[in-house]
Amino acid sequence: MKFRTILTSIALAGALTSVDNTARAALPELNSADHAVLDMADAFKKGQAKRLSELLPRVRGHVLEPWAAYWELKSRLESASSDEITTFLRRYANTYQEDRLRNDWLVLLGQRRDWSRFVQEAPNYRMKDDREVRCYTLAMEHILGGVDMAQEVKDQWYAQKNAGDGCALAAQVHLDHQKLTPADIWRKARLSLEARQTRAMQQAVDMVAPQASATLASLLVKPEKFLSKTTPSSLRNEQELAVLALIRLAETDPDSAAQWLQERWASKLDARQRAWAWGAIGKQAAQKLAPNALSLFANASAADMSDEHLTWYARAALRANQWPRVLSAIAAMSPATAADPTWVYWRARGLLTLTQNDAAQQEARTLLQSIAAVRGFYELLAQEELGLPIAPPPQPESLTAAEKESARANPGLQRALAAIQLGLRPEGVREWNYTTNLHQSGGMSDRELLAAADLACEHEVWDRCINTSERTKRVVDLTQRYPMPHKQAVLTRTQGIGLDPAYVYGLIRQESRFIMDARSGVGASGLMQVMPATARWTAKKIGLTQFQTHQLNDRDTNIAIGTGYLKLVLDDFAGSMPMAAAAYNAGPGRPRNWRGQSGAPVMEAAIWAENVPFSETRDYVKKVLANTTIYAAMISGKTQSLKARLGRVGPLDAAVEINRDLP
């Protein structure tokens, strides 16, 4: 509720590594070793290496000893001897903690450029999900063996969000040997600036134009000054700096950036530079829902724009009902982006809308069939477009006693549950994910994943139940993927205020994954992630007297306030579920603006949702509505329509009253 960064499920119920005294009091009875583990978690957070070494003997034999030993050694890894590291890796072999420490050790070896030890240890690294480690490996292979890994270096480096030593090193050594070009480096600078990662942008520019550091710093503050004072020339660095200035200016004033590009810089930039600049300007205009966004994109070849530009080009074209441009933008996307269900669905819709010949119609149906399923937003829309029922699939064969016992006996799952029970949720979630993911040899089968999910459900660790079950490939257990805890409380409350229980469950699943004590980084609390100020306002509206914000941790109070606010918002938006979901996440004012001004077209709500400017809210609306449709099918036992729940969205009728005091 209220626009905020939704934390991952790892952090939902405890962003801190340690458990404070108040939280400890609410835990089951603890023994001395439990307290020692919690003290070590706290000491690790505070960087108290000496304290960790003192406490470690007290947790020997505890189920979470591998965590304690990891914290102790990690806190002094830079000064640890090779023998100490080797001893740890052997003692805790085949655990998450062994692989986690090896990951940390490889990063340190890469930073030290200790390639002899790096090459010995890297083959034993199972996790393989650390981009920095992979980049150090790419750098090492080029340095020691001259292996050309330029394409993967670009893939890894471009995808990295923050400045990192490993990927920068891999890029630098490939640039030094002319396996990467200056154009490749400038592309990274542009990507970083558009992602607002200025350190990563600076790192890239320093590789090809270190003398431009002062110019770059002032350009970021006053891009218009650079664009007006710098004489356009054919010098590559000046051209690239101009593109960066245009990107920066477009963030706040896309029309001004377009004017500077058209009147002063376009003739001095090459076709690819111009396309990128127009793409960045068009993207910003599209995010502001400006009517001229499509005309800005049309100034350059879509083939030379980035995928981020092209997705916004396609969204703007959808909003304007310009299907040829939708297809053109999707055709220019990289294969990986075009394969996303979002663009598979809209490509199919475009073909169905524009062409009536049998071949095109069959291609559209094939595209829809490739994604249709009872799961995500576009998968459900594809299912409905094909005329297939949105109903619960058959339940898989029941788990056997042996399958359940195998999950219970799994050491990694045992440690994960023990950590979560002690209040160390981040550690428990990481261990659970490692154990159930493909880091182990061969990975877990569908049946093993179902058994692990069942174990999590049994312990009411609903987020792990859901996420684990969602990874099965050939069988689907919707009761695991879409559980309904607190059913009586939810049904009683929703029936009392006339709210669809499926909608409430769809929202809770997205907000908190049913974690009772979930807390976001900005203070939203409980199952329905209610902000304190919103809770106080809602409590008055629904007649909940003597409410105090600490009561948000109470299940029934949280449900009462969350559903009360949702009903008020839903009524305010005339029953529009997608708009109410957007309001619940981003505040009511923003969806009112996003629906368009008087005279704007009425559109499918799926198109409206896809054009929501905030990526978090856009994702949120789609997931809540997909969840709602599936829960409705489960509750009713009947096929459902996502399209009917979405409806259409357009400008507000001037005669309609709206509740302007909604927080």
- Judge whether 330 and 314 are in contact, CB under 8 Å: yes
Instruction: Name every residue whose Cβ is closer than 8 Å to that of residue 134 and which is 6 or more positions away in sequence.
Output: 128, 156, 166
DSSP 371: H
Task: Give the Cβ contact number of residue 198 at 10 Å.
Answer: 15
Whether residue 75 is predicted with pLDDT greater than 90 in this model: the reply is: yes
Domain of 519, CATH number, reads 1.10.530.10
Q: For 365-383, what is the mean pLDDT?
A: 97
- pLDDT above 90 covers a percentage of the chain that reads 86
Question: What pLDDT does 21 receive?
Answer: 57
Give the number of other Cβ atoms within 10 Å of residue 120's Cβ.
11
At CB < 8 A and 24+ separation, what contacts does 569-574 make? 569/662, 570/499, 570/503, 571/659, 572/658, 572/659, 572/662, 574/656
In this structure, is residue 442 part of a structural domain? yes
Q: For 122, which DSSP code?
A: G
Measured torsion, CA atoms of residues 600, 601, 606, 609, in degrees rounded to the nearest 10: 0
Tell whether the model's pLDDT for residue 655 goes beyond 60: no
Residue 571 pLDDT greater than 90, yes or no: yes
For residue 227, pLDDT over 70 is answered with yes
Say what the pLDDT of residue 659 is. Answer: 63
Q: CA-to-CA distance for 72 and 80, rounded, in angstroms?
A: 11
User: According to the per-residue pLDDT averaged within each range, which of 25-29, 125-129, 431-435 is highest?
Assistant: 431-435
Q: Which helix (H) or strand (E) holds 609?
A: helix 605-610
pLDDT digits (tens, 9 = 90+) for 101-144: 999 999 999 999 999 999 999 999 998 889 999 999 999 999 99
How much of the chain exceeds pLDDT 70, in percent?
Answer: 94
The structure tokens listed for 661 are: 């005091």
User: 387-415 in b/e burial notation, b at 16+ Cβ within 10 A?
Assistant: ebebebeeebeebeeebbebbeebebbbb
pLDDT band at 438 (very low <50, low <70, confident <90, very high): low
Predicted confidence band at 329 (pLDDT cuts at 50, 70, 90)? very high
Residue 18 confidence (pLDDT) above 70: no
pLDDT at 186: 98
Q: How far apart are CA 237 and CA 254, in angstroms?
A: 23
The answer to whether position 549 is within a domain reads: yes
Same domain, 618 and 531: yes
Give the side-chain half-sphere CA count within 13 A for 342.
23
Q: Tell me if residue 511 is catalytic.
A: yes
For 261-299, write each residue's pLDDT tens digit. 999 999 999 999 999 999 999 999 999 999 999 999 999
More confident residue, 542 or 657: 542
Do both 635 and 500 map to the same domain?
yes
**Region 496-516: what's the mean pLDDT?**
96
Torsion-angle region of 642 (φ positive above 0: left; ψ -120 to 50: alpha; else: beta): alpha
pLDDT at 10: 32
Q: Do 553 and 592 lie in a common domain?
A: yes
pLDDT at site 406: 97
Q: Quick one: 457 and 499 in the same domain?
A: no
pLDDT category, 467, cuts 50, 70, 90? very high
Q: Examine residue 554 and state whether it is found in any structural domain, yes or no.
A: yes
- CB distance 457 to 513 below 8 Å: no
Q: What is the mean pLDDT of residues 535-557?
A: 93
CB-based contact 95:76 (threshold 8 Å): no
Question: Quick check: is 449 in a domain?
Answer: yes
CA 160, distance to chain mean position in Å, is 14
Residue 471 shares a structural domain with residue 505: no
Among the candidates 461, 481, 501, a domain finishes at 481
Residues 455 and 577 in one domain: no
Based on the fold, state whether residues 620 and 506 are members of the same structural domain: yes
- pLDDT value of residue 658: 57
Closest CA to 252 of 225, 213, 276, 224: 224
Q: Is 184 contained in some domain? A: no
Residue type, 469: S
Same domain, 462 and 532: no
Active-site residue, selected from the candidate residues 194, 385, 511, 610: 511
Between the alpha carbon of residue 293 and those of residues 51, 279, 283, the distances in Å are 58, 10, 7
Total domain count for the chain?
Answer: 2
State whether 509 and 469 are in the same domain.
no
Strands 648-649 and 603-604: antiparallel
Q: Identify whether 150 is part of a domain.
A: no
Residues 539, 452 share a domain: no
pTM greater than the 0.85 cutoff: yes
**Across 20-24, 53-57, 600-604, least confident range:** 20-24
Among the residue ranges 19-28, 201-210, 281-290, 363-372, the one predicted with the least confidence is 19-28
Residue 501 counted as domain residue: yes
Query: Of 466, 481, 496, which one is at a domain's C-terminal end?
Result: 481
Task: State which residues form the domain around 586.
Answer: 487-649
User: pLDDT (tens digit, 9 = 90+) per residue, 46-60?
Assistant: 999 999 999 999 999
Domain-located, residue 88: no
Which of 481, 504, 538 is the last residue in one of the domains?
481
Claim to verify: residue 504 and residue 462 sit in the same structural domain: no
Residues 499, 460, single domain; the answer is no
